Amino acid sequence: MEATWTHTTVLLSEAVDALLGAAEPGQPPAAPLLPDLAPDSGPVFVDATFGRGGHSRLILSKLPTAARLIAFDKDLDALAEAATITDARFSIRHQGFSHLGELPAGSVAGVLLDLGISSPQVDNPARGFSFRFEGPLDMRMDTTRGTSVAEWLADAEVGQIAEVIREYGEERFAGPIAKAIVARRQARGPLSTTTELAQLVADTVKTRESGQNPATRTFQAFRIFINAELEELQQALEASLRVLQPGGRLVVISFHSLEDRIVKQFIAKHAKEVFDRRAPFAAPHVMQFNALARIKPSAAEVAANPRSRSAIMRVAERTAAAVPGAHS
C-alpha cells in the first residue's frame, strides 16, 4: 500500500483573507473585488506555490463565479493533487513561480507565495529532503529536470561546496564540512544517500544549538541551492510589480531569514518614493507598494503545528502607479 503524507497549511485563513483584500485577518474584504472590471470578466488570482492545495481550495470557496485562480508548482505530486480539483475556475501550470512574469501586465488581482518546502516533501524518504530518513540524496522540487544534490556533490570543488553551505545555510562550519565531503568522495566515492550526508556532518560538526540536528543547516543550504530558490523568489517578486493591478495584493509567507530578508527589503524598496540625486528637479520614481502587514502564526497554531513556528507573512498592496508594460 502506497504511503500518504499529510500537509497542514500554515496561516491558511490569514493568507487568504489578506489576498482577497481584507483590512484585517479574519475580516471580510474592505471593498468588492476590483469593482471596475467589465461585467463579463472577473478577478484573476495566483497561488504561485500550490503545494497540496490548502490555500487554493479556500481561495476558490470565496471567489465570485466569474473569477479565476491560476496556480504554479514544479512538483509532480502537487500536480497530481491539483488534478483532483474540478472547479472550472482553476488551472495549474507545471512551472516554478519565477514564470509569474509570463502573465499579462496588470492582469492579476492578487499573488500568494507560500515559500519553502511542504510536509509531504520532507516526510517522503524518496525525495531526499530530510536527514531523518534514509533516501536518495536528491532534493529537487521538480524531479523531471535539473541536477540532484548527489550529482552536484560528485564533481563540485571544496570552495564551491563551502560557499553554498555558508551562503544558504549560514553555517559557520561550512569549510570543514566541505572538506569532509570531498575527502569522503576521494576515499570511498561520492555521497549518495541522505543518511550518509547527515552522518558525515554530525561527525564534522562537534557543537550545535540545543535541539537542532547538526545537518539542519547543510540540508537547507543544498536544497535552496539545487532549486535556485532565492533567485526564483527575486524573479517572482519583480514580476509581481508588472502583473498586479492597482489595489492588487502581494502575500508572501517565509520560513527562514534568508527568504524573509529578501521579501522585506523588496517591499521596503518599492514602498517609498525614490529621488534621483543626479536630477534633483526630475519627478521621483513613484511608490509602487503599500506595506500593509507582518503577521506570525498564533500560539494556538504553533502548538497544533510546530512547523509553523518560524513562519512570517508579509502583505503589500500595489499602488495606482503605472504598471510597467500595461496598456491604457
Domains of the chain by residue range:
12-119+229-318, 142-226
Report the pLDDT value the prediction gives residue 34, as an integer from 0 to 100: 45
Q: How far apart are CA 238 and CA 297, in angstroms?
A: 26
Residue 323 DSSP label:
P
Sign of the Cα torsion 93, 94, 95, 97 reads: positive
The reported pLDDT for the residue numbered 281 is 57
For 19, counting Cβ atoms within 10 Å of its Cβ (0-12 exposed, 13-18 middle, 19+ buried), the class is buried
Cα angle 232, 236, 240 (rounded to 5 degrees) comes to 175
pLDDT at 28: 44
Pick the CATH number of 12-119+229-318 from 3.40.50.10190, 3.40.50.150, 3.30.470.20, 1.10.3720.10: 3.40.50.150
pLDDT at res. 130? 86
Which segments of the chain have a pLDDT < 50?
A: 1-2, 23, 25-40, 327-328
pLDDT of residue 280: 62
According to the model, what pLDDT value does residue 52 have?
87
Q: What is the DSSP string of 281-298?
A: TSPPBPP-EEEEEEE---
User: Could you tell me the CATH superfamily of domain 142-226?
Assistant: Putative methyltransferase TM0872, insert domain (1.10.150.170)
pLDDT in tens, 266-292: 999 999 865 555 656 555 567 899 999
Distance CA 180, CA 183 (A): 5
pTM equals 0.87
Phi and psi at residue 113, in whole multiples of 5°?
Answer: -125, 115
Instruction: Give the pLDDT of residue 123.
Output: 74
